[in-house]
């Protein structure tokens, strides 16, 4: 596969800091962001790269030349007049192409991205992820087969509750999607991708890897901090990950019995701050929840998605996000009015079984022995122990003495925030586990 990098940007928001440089040449830790991209692609075997340049194109061409010094073979398309993000794509070779925006810093395992694209036989694959500023990002809506079904623009006035799944600015386009013919001004998203969503061949590849737009001074500083701390490299899925698995009801949001409406979902005080702390740490934040309301017939999959959209939106409003949310829709006990028979089974994913944690470990290359499970019920603790995780019980749901499973957590905590602070302090200080946190005494 070959790559194309859209590197014609001027950088209006960050340009005052670097008035003599095109945006892709802005240095990150002493190296242009475009150089980071080219070297990362070349190191993973993608050496045929086309740079689509415009503003101060000579600065870019002078720095990179043929690409030989950077392990790549570079070609250039120079836009004398801006053609939008999709206008020059008609000049690319007619083959599947990985496309990147030149102002995005990323460190990803590209082979996983490509493998997903091929498995789905997609016309377009979007690299998507949650972020801490979803309100000023384009949101992608995908079904449970990862097929994109809707696009919510950041320019839309009222998007309602939404899942935090953001278009990250990395794409794979099949040769059939690349435009041919006249060279006209086009927008990659709105003119090429959004119109074919209804065909069912646009897919969302969800990843926890590091991808960040560095187009503002604040975000540039964050990227440099994260590179220096080692977080960026550690998040590449070639490396083993660590996660904090978090129960939903009674741990993140207030216990409300069988929660069936978005209006019933209220965050527990401090929960968003806890998730935000995890986002800034080396741990993934993954929600693991039993949702028998599906099998009982109390809520449809669409209704549950609305509930989780509210959860994502509330967390996003406080600058926090879940790296993923996995749920079990099954329930083994029959006899409920309106129950859905095909989900009335004894499955491998319903806690206290560890199926959801094991699935997450496979998807994100997680070392379960270096991970945690936090929950308010004995089933949460039992699932974590069965998966080989360390466990923390929280008292916010008041279910740790429910008697369903004969287990005890490694640590007891007042709430999710105290539990996460304990994990981060233990990580920093290397302290051994303790039965009670100081914040509980």
Note the pLDDT tens digit of each residue in 179-235. 877 778 899 999 999 999 999 999 999 999 999 988 788 889 999 999 999 999 999
Q: What percent of the chain lies above the pLDDT cut of 90?
A: 77
The values of phi and psi at residue 415, to 5°, are -160, 180
Q: CB of 7 within 8 A of CB of 53? A: yes
Q: Domain spans of the chain?
A: 2-220, 240-440
Q: What percent of the chain lies above the pLDDT cut of 70?
A: 96
Q: CB of 51 within 8 A of CB of 64? A: yes
Predicted local distance difference test score (pLDDT) of residue 238:
95
Cα–Cα distance for residue pair 216/208, rounded to 1 Å: 22
Give pLDDT tens digits for 81-97: 888 888 899 889 889 99
Burial class (CB in 10 A: 0-12, 13-18, 19+), 383: buried
Q: CB of 279 within 8 A of CB of 134? A: no
Return the closest-CA partner of residue 208 out of 361, 347, 420, 335.
361
Burial class (CB in 10 A: 0-12, 13-18, 19+), 230: exposed
pLDDT band at 157 (very low <50, low <70, confident <90, very high): confident
Predicted local distance difference test score (pLDDT) of residue 28:
94
| pLDDT at 146 > cutoff 70 | yes
H or E element, residue 128: strand 124-129
Please state, rounded to an integer, the average pLDDT across all residues of the chain: 92
Predicted local distance difference test score (pLDDT) of residue 191:
92
Selected residue with higher pLDDT from 11 and 238? 238
Tokens of 327: 């749920």
pLDDT band at 16 (very low <50, low <70, confident <90, very high): low
Predicted local distance difference test score (pLDDT) of residue 287:
98
Residues 6+ apart with CB under 8 A from 335: none
Predicted local distance difference test score (pLDDT) of residue 155:
86
Q: CB of 206 within 8 A of CB of 145? A: no
Predicted local distance difference test score (pLDDT) of residue 15:
60
Q: Which CATH class is domain 240-440?
A: alpha beta
Residue with tokens 């319903």: 350
Taking phi over 0 as left and psi of -120 to 50 as alpha, with beta for the rest, 229 belongs to: alpha
| pLDDT at 437 > cutoff 70 | no
Return the closest-CA partner of residue 209 out of 231, 179, 184, 176.
231
What pTM did the predictor assign?
Answer: 0.91
Return the closest-CA partner of residue 285 out of 394, 423, 388.
423
Q: Quick one: fold of 2-220?
A: Spore Coat Polysaccharide Biosynthesis Protein SpsA; Chain A (3.90.550)
Predicted local distance difference test score (pLDDT) of residue 438:
44
Per DSSP, helices labelled H in 262-411 are 271-279, 301-317, 355-364, 378-387
SS3 state of residue 151: strand
| pLDDT at 429 > cutoff 90 | no
Neighbours of 369 (CB within 10 A): 11
The number of residues in the chain equals 441
List, by residue number, the catalytic residues: 247, 249
Average pLDDT of 302-331? 97
Q: Can you name the residues that pair with 205 across neighbouring β-strands?
A: 127
């Amino acid at each position: 596969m070959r790559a194309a990098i859209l590197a014609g940007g001027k950088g209006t928001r960050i340009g005052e800091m670097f008035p003599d440089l095109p945006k892709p040449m802005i240095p990150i830790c002493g190296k242009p962001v475009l150089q980071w991209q080219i070297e990362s692609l070349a190191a993973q075997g993608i050496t045929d790269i086309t740079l689509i340049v415009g503003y101060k194109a000579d600065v870019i061409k002078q720095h990179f030349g043929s690409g030989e010094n950077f392990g790549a073979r570079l070609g250039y398309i120079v836009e004398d007049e801006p053609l939008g993000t999709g206008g020059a794509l008609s000049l690319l070779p007619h083959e599947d192409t990985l496309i990147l925006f030149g102002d995005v810093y990323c460190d990803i395992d590209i082979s996983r991205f490509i493998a997903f694209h091929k498995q789905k036989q997609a016309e377009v694959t979007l690299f998507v992820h949650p972020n801490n500023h979803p309100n000023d990002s384009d949101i992608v809506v995908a079904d449970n087969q990862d097929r994109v079904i809707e696009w919510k623009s950041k320019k839309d006035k009222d998007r309602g509750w939404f899942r935090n799944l953001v278009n990250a600015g990395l794409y794979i386009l099949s040769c059939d999607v690349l435009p041919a013919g006249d060279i006209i001004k086009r927008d990659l998203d709105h003119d090429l991708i959004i119109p074919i969503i209804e065909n069912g061949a646009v897919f969302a590849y969800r990843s926890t890897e590091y991808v960040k737009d560095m187009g503002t001074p604040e975000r540039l500083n964050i990227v440099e901090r994260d590179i220096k701390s080692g977080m960026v490299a550690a998040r590449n899925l070639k490396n083993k990950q660590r996660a904090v698995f978090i129960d939903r009801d009674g741990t993140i949001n207030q216990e409300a019995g069988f929660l069936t409406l978005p209006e019933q979902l209220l965050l527990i005080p401090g929960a968003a701050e806890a998730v935000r702390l995890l986002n800034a740490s080396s741990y993934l934040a993954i929600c693991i929840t039993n949702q028998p309301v599906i099998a009982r017939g109390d809520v449809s999959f669409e209704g549950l998605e609305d509930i989780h959209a509210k959860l994502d939106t509330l967390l996003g409003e406080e600058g926090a996000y879940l790296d993923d949310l996995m749920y079990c829709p099954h329930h083994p006990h029959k006899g409920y009015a309106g129950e859905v028979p095909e989900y009335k089974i004894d499955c491998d994913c319903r806690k206290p079984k560890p199926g959801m944690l094991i699935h997450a470990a496979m998807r994100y290359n997680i070392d379960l022995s270096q991970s945690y499970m936090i929950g308010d019920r004995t089933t949460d603790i039992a699932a974590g122990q069965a998966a080989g995780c360390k466990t923390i019980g929280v008292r916010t749901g008041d279910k740790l003495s429910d008697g369903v499973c004969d287990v005890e957590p490694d640590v007891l905590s007042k709430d999710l925030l105290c539990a996460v602070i304990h994990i981060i302090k233990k990580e920093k200080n290397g302290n051994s586990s303790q039965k009670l946190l100081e914040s509980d005494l």
